[in-house]
Structure 1
Amino acid sequence: MCGRWLESQRGVNLPSPQITRRTLLALTAGAFAWPARLSAAPLPRIAVIDWAMLETALAIGVVPVAATELIQFRQIAIEPEVPQTVADLGLRGAPNMELLRILAPDLILSSSFYEYRRAAFERVAPVFSATVYQVGTPPFDPARDAMLALGRKLGLEAAAQNYIAATEAEIESLRQRVKNRIHRPVLLISIGDISHFRAFGGDSMFGDVLGRIGLTNAWKGTTSYSATAPVGIEALANIPQADIVVIGPVPPEAREILPRSPIWNALPAVSEGRVAMLDAIDHFGGLPAARRFVRLLGQAGSFLADPNG
């Protein structure tokens, strides 16, 4: 959906023949719902469909009773950490509606990506939906607004404001660090396989934050929501002056083979040590993804440093 490369394949442990599927769901719901009630008694019980909204809720101190694709979230988004008490609703595009009904949340957090399912969600609970990613629109401000709106709705506006302030402070800190660097443009890419990449533009969270820290995005082509369609890796040779920041996750095969690729090694940025490989970040994340990007970029390597320092 709109550039999401990775859809989870979740393993399922089959119950014994004596346990029905409905019984298993009920047991699962009970196991996960009780700790959530204890940890968030004053708050509504929340289920989350969209990952950016899951990041947002966790960042302001809300532990949901359920969320989607938690195996992949813990591998790709990584933070904020999701407690083991949170039930997994399955795929974002096709959540387990039976389990959602059994859990009976008071509120469902969604986004414009899943608006086509809103009517089904509303038969379970009221929906809070935010639009963070739109074609051609930098998403940092919408993500900030979504956090503020959710904070107000849950009585956690101070927590939201504090998180926003901390995020903006980290951006400003990195802006000060890089202001004296050689101002080469920066290519923000994700690797699809050993032959293809995607470039992140200004309507990605990474491209938006890059501009906020005072660096220029080298990619001038079109993007849709976050990044281009896959482009041949040889196209990177057309922007030889650009530093390259690779945003994970990188497929295991590409991670193994790319360092031996003649095309990759012939790129000026590679041969001159102007490539940073970042760990995985949610490509469609909220402010926590922006904050993680800033931190990882700040640790990325010598090309961010003051050449006279």
Structure 2
Amino acid sequence: MRFFTTVLAFLTFFSIAYAGERQPIATFDWAVAETLSILDIAPLGVMQLNTYNEWTDKKIISCDAIELGLGSMPNLELVSHLNPSLILGDNTSPNGKLTNIAPTENISLFPITGDPWQAMQDFTLALAERVGRNEEAKRFIHEYEQQFSKLRYRLSGDEEPLIIIQFRDDRHVWIYGENSLLQGALDQLGLTNAWNKPTNYVGVSTVSIDELPAIEGRLVVLKSPHYTSSIGDRLDRDGLWQALLRLRNGNAVYLPVEYWPVGGLPSALRFADALVEALEAPTEPQPTASSQH
């Protein structure tokens, strides 16, 4: 069953990354860009595409999209040269200049209000309506629900609440809360989020790592590109972080990141797949100080 699910997920992700007709749509929102991809539309240009590809390992958005620069400071000359027929995304600051190039519409999944999974579906359907891909959107939503059901079946059903964190630096973390994309994935998997305090507009709270011991639940650490490149090694030598892990008896899960945590349905499913695989793995106890001598 696990092999079948893995193969099915691989085939789905492969088709997402490399299929799709080229349409002259530019976007300044990564959730929009990856949702266009599952609707079989390869966006012409995407803001900060290189950074996005660092997170997703180039496995969601078509690899021949063009980098458009920063969302707050787009390369207007390049955008004008590409001559898009439509510019999409939550990009309010340079809107005046962009509207001189092509029709511009602000569309975003965030902030999420109400049920996150329903918000993801509504966002996908609204975007599909705008680009004429209604049937494709309904089909993909149905397929994603089926894949989430298969992932949920693999879980034991008695998992403890999860604390999903992403390191901002070696002293602070972002915790994903109830109005986040990842909450929608947890809901579909039948898992509980241990964090229920107020969050920002993308569903994230910032806390110091010395606050984590007071939160009951199992730690889930997102190994972001920033974590992998600079923070992970420092934490391995950090006394406070190692003490926290010993306090929890090493009961932490580390997730490889090949998704954007504030993306759309494709990222939600990739996160869920990585999480279920990690939860299935046996826990390795954190070595105590006495056992290291």
State the TM-score, normalizing by the size of structure 2: 0.80
1:270-291 CA distances to partner (integer Å, 9 max, x unpaired)?
7534211112231220111111
Task: Identify the match of residue 223 of structure 2 among 248, 253, 256.
Answer: 248
Moved more, 222-231 or 241-250: 222-231
SS in 2 for 1:63: strand
CA RMSD of aligned residues (A): 2.5
SS in 2 for 1:247: strand
Residue type at the aligned position of 1:259: D
Task: List gaps (5 residues or longer) in structure 2.
Answer: 1-19, 284-293
Name the % identity: 28
Task: Identify the match of residue 144 of structure 2 among 159, 163, 167.
Answer: 167
Q: Could you tell me which residue of structure 2 aligns to residue 108 of structure 1?
A: 87
Q: Could you tell me which residue of structure 2 aligns to residue 11 of structure 1?
A: none
Q: Distance in 2 between matches of 1:153 and 1:135?
A: 20
Asked if the contact 1:151/1:160 (under 8 Å) is kept, the reply is: yes
Asked if the contact 1:132/1:139 (under 8 Å) is kept, the reply is: no
Task: Identify the match of residue 237 of structure 2 among 260, 263, 275.
Answer: 260
Q: Could you tell me which residue of structure 1 aligns to residue 4 of structure 2?
A: none
Alignment of 1:70 with 2:49, yes or no, is yes
Task: Spell out structure 1 runs of 4+ moving beyond 4 A.
Answer: 135-138, 268-271
SS in 2 for 1:64: strand
SS in 2 for 1:189: strand
Alignment of 1:144 with 2:121, yes or no, is yes
Task: Identify the match of residue 130 of structure 2 among 153, 167, 183.
Answer: 153
Q: Distance in 1 between matches of 2:129 and 2:204?
A: 35
Q: Could you tell me which residue of structure 1 aligns to residue 288 of structure 2?
A: none
Asked if the contact 1:59/1:80 (under 8 Å) is kept, the reply is: no
Cα separation, partners in 2 of 1:304 and 1:168, compared to 1, 3 Å: farther
Residue type at the aligned position of 2:186: L
SS in 1 for 2:89: strand
Cα separation, partners in 2 of 1:88 and 1:184, compared to 1, 3 Å: same
Q: Distance in 2 between matches of 1:150 and 1:296?
A: 27
Alignment of 1:287 with 2:268, yes or no, is no
Asked if the contact 1:188/1:207 (under 8 Å) is kept, the reply is: no
Residue type at the aligned position of 2:127: L
Task: Identify the match of residue 301 of structure 1 among 273, 276, 279.
Answer: 279
Q: CA deviation at 1:135?
A: 6.0
State the TM-score, normalizing by the size of structure 1: 0.76
Alignment of 1:214 with 2:214, yes or no, is no
Q: Distance in 2 between matches of 1:169 and 1:158?
A: 17
Q: Distance in 1 between matches of 2:95 and 2:78?
A: 17
1:105-139 CA distances to partner (integer Å, 9 max, x unpaired)?
1111212xx23433332222223432311165444
SS in 1 for 2:142: helix
Task: List gaps (5 residues or longer) in structure 1.
Answer: 1-38
